[in-house]
Amino acid sequence: MKTLFEKVWDDHVVVPETADTPAILYIDLHIVHEVTSPQAFSLLRSQKLPVRRPDLTLATMDHSTPTVPGSTFRDLAVVGENAAQQIRQMEENCAGFGVDLLGYGHANRGIVHVIGPELGATQPGKTIVCGDSHTSTHGAFGALAFGIGTTEVGHVLATQCLLQRRPKTLAVTVDGALPAGVTAKDVVLAIIGHIGVDGGTGHVIEYRGSAIRSLDMEQRMTVCNMSIEAGARAGMIAPDDTTIEYLDGRPRAPTGADWDAAVARWRTLRSDDGAAFDREVTLDAATLQPMVTFGTNPGMVLGINDPVPSSGDASFRKALDYMRVEPGKPMTGQAVDVVFIGSCTNGRLSDLEQAAAVLRGRRVADGVRMLVVPGSQRVKDEAEALGLDRVFTEAGAEWREAGCSMCIGMNGDIAQPGQLSVSTSNRNFEGRQGVGARTVLASPVTAAAAAVAGRVTDPRTLLGQQES
Ligand code: SF4
């Protein structure tokens, strides 16, 4: 009897680990981007090595690209010289090493963790790596997917293999029906709040239970995306009909007899009844509510109407000082300067639809800047076909080009010192969205509600679901 993780791991071990050496693990898909690949390509050049499997390597540009509406490859001045240099280098490296690049202006370009799934390159049972922590996103398909460092990017480019210690397993079961106004983002923030930012350290999390099974693929990606924020190596959800329907017909999904064989194999990718996990945690979906962070890591999180805790150590008090938050009071009512809808956590079509549902017929509050940044060019095109761009712009929000944008602020999209940003991204560390910027993580619904109200607010009051 094996867990889902054990099945995928065992399928990819080239050389088992010993007490002295990690395992050598075969990698099925390597996604690279402009920030963590330049040194890796330099390593290949210095060793006179080719990319071993260009056909298993997919490159895009996302972190440093401009999101200014209508920007083109010629407008790189807006992102600053460092970012522009990364973009130019990526073009040169991919051309020089024969790597498929979804470059600036490409119809399929987008954030690494958005394009893999939407192209059907992300598939159940694969090992997937990328030089970005939130590679755990791809685990929503039953893949074993995790972030790697720059040196490891070089190792995978050169060998298609990686040295890895086998992680432990943690089952997180969420059963029951989610209350109205509670989204996948709220579920994963609640999980991180429950187990802590180091609760998953050394483990691969498998998300299970009826509440997880009820999520669509985009929502499942939101959950797996933030596994790393609980310290986990990866997050996984067993593939099912929802997964298979999502992948059917995608450009890089198998076709014909290959599709039938793949589906038959994917259906075996579930934890066997009775398979043992190293740890297990259970949450009741019915008790969950919209969640917001109040501190400077994603584990400093609470229900929208709950008071900020009043006890804590020196680092806890430092976080509250940085955030200018008072213990004993809820986050509701905090004045908002910036709202960011986007990122690999919440920059997909359904996320934009949820935010648009709040904004339709309403206005962004005076003094609030709202950026809506699609996770990929495909998401942008699909959103525009549905008229969501007009919903956002008519409400007074900015509708931007696809990219990471204010998740990390490498392209100049930042909040100013002291500004409070309600963000659908995944990290609220000090300075993550700009020096001195204060970040509150929330779902697209809660972020959109904050934009309308001009303060942190219970989104259910705007959705007509509950008085706060
Ligand atoms: S959106 Fe943020 S977390 Fe995701 S890939 Fe880009 S920078 Fe990394």
pLDDT of residue 28 exceeding 80, the answer is yes
Dihedral angle of Cα 410, 413, 415, 421, to the nearest 10 degrees: -100
pLDDT of residue 356 exceeding 60, the answer is yes
The whole-number pLDDT of residue 207 equals: 98
Q: Are residues 447 and 298 in the same domain?
A: yes
pLDDT of residue 76 exceeding 80, the answer is no
Number of structural domains found in the chain: 2
The whole-number pLDDT of residue 78 equals: 73
Which residues sit with their C-beta closer than 6 Å to ligand 1?
A: 62-63, 111-113, 132, 134, 343-344, 404, 407-408, 425-426
For 214-239, what is each residue's pLDDT tens digit?
Answer: 999 999 999 999 999 999 999 999 99
pLDDT of residue 345 exceeding 80, the answer is yes
Q: Is 241 exposed, middle or buried (0-12, 13-18, 19+ CB in 10 A)?
A: exposed
Burial 288-309 (b: 16+ CB within 10 A, else e): bbbbbbbbbbbbbbbbbeeebe
309/327 Cα distance (integer angstroms) = 6
Examine residue 178 and state whether it is found in any structural domain, yes or no: no
The residue from 133, 164, 195 where one domain ends is: 164
Examine residue 398 and state whether it is found in any structural domain, yes or no: yes
138/8 Cα distance (integer angstroms) = 13
> Please, which pLDDT band fits residue 111 given cuts at 50, 70 and 90?
very high
Look up the CATH number of the domain holding residue 112.
Answer: 3.30.499.10
The whole-number pLDDT of residue 72 equals: 73
Residue 136: which H helix or E strand, with range? none
List the single range of 196-210, 218-232, 433-447, 451-465 with lowest mean pLDDT. 451-465
| Interval 268-282 mean pLDDT | 98
Average pLDDT, the chain: 96
**Domain ranges, residue 419:** 293-462
Q: Are residues 9 and 153 in the same domain?
A: yes
Query: Which atom of ligand 1 is least distant from the CA of 132?
Result: 8
The whole-number pLDDT of residue 440 equals: 98
Q: How remote is the CA of residue 408 from the centroid of ligand 1, in Å?
A: 7
Query: Which atom of ligand 1 is least distant from the CA of 113?
Result: 5
The whole-number pLDDT of residue 151 equals: 95
Examine residue 363 and state whether it is found in any structural domain, yes or no: yes
The residue from 115, 133, 164 where one domain ends is: 164
Examine residue 45 and state whether it is found in any structural domain, yes or no: yes
Structure pTM? 0.97
The whole-number pLDDT of residue 81 equals: 84
| Nearest alpha-carbon partner for 352 in 222, 235, 227, 458 | 222
The whole-number pLDDT of residue 74 equals: 66
**Tokens in use for 350?**
């359904």
Examine residue 179 and state whether it is found in any structural domain, yes or no: no
> Are residues 335 and 454 in contact, defined by beta-carbon separation less than 8 angstroms?
yes
Examine residue 382 and state whether it is found in any structural domain, yes or no: yes
The residues that bridge with 164 in the sheet, in sequence order, are 23
Residues of the chain with pLDDT > 70, as a percent, come to 99
The whole-number pLDDT of residue 82 equals: 85
> Please, which pLDDT band fits residue 311 given cuts at 50, 70 and 90?
confident
| Nearest alpha-carbon partner for 369 in 346, 352, 392, 385 | 392
Q: How remote is the CA of residue 85 from the centroid of ligand 1, in Å?
A: 19
Residue 31's SS3 state is strand
| Nearest alpha-carbon partner for 97 in 128, 156, 56, 52 | 52
| Interval 29-46 mean pLDDT | 96
Residue of the nearest CA to atom 4 in ligand 1?
Answer: 344
Cβ neighbours of residue 200 under 8 Å, at least 6 residues apart? 170, 227, 230, 231, 232, 233
Cβ neighbours of residue 387 under 8 Å, at least 6 residues apart? none
pLDDT of residue 467 exceeding 70, the answer is no
Residues of the chain with pLDDT > 90, as a percent, come to 93
Residue 278's SS3 state is coil
| Interval 148-166 mean pLDDT | 97
Residue of the nearest CA to atom 3 in ligand 1?
Answer: 134
The residue from 134, 164, 194 where one domain ends is: 164
Sign of CA dihedral 207, 155, 429, 462: negative
Query: Which atom of ligand 1 is least distant from the CA of 134?
Result: 3
| Interval 362-385 mean pLDDT | 98
For 374-424, what is each residue's pLDDT tens digit?
Answer: 999 999 999 999 999 999 999 999 999 999 999 999 999 999 999 999 999
85/62 Cα distance (integer angstroms) = 13
Q: How remote is the CA of residue 460 from the centroid of ligand 1, in Å?
A: 28
Examine residue 138 and state whether it is found in any structural domain, yes or no: yes
| Nearest alpha-carbon partner for 182 in 467, 459, 461 | 459
Residue of the nearest CA to atom 2 in ligand 1?
Answer: 407
Examine residue 288 and state whether it is found in any structural domain, yes or no: no
The whole-number pLDDT of residue 468 equals: 40
> Are residues 345 and 315 in contact, defined by beta-carbon separation less than 8 angstroms?
no
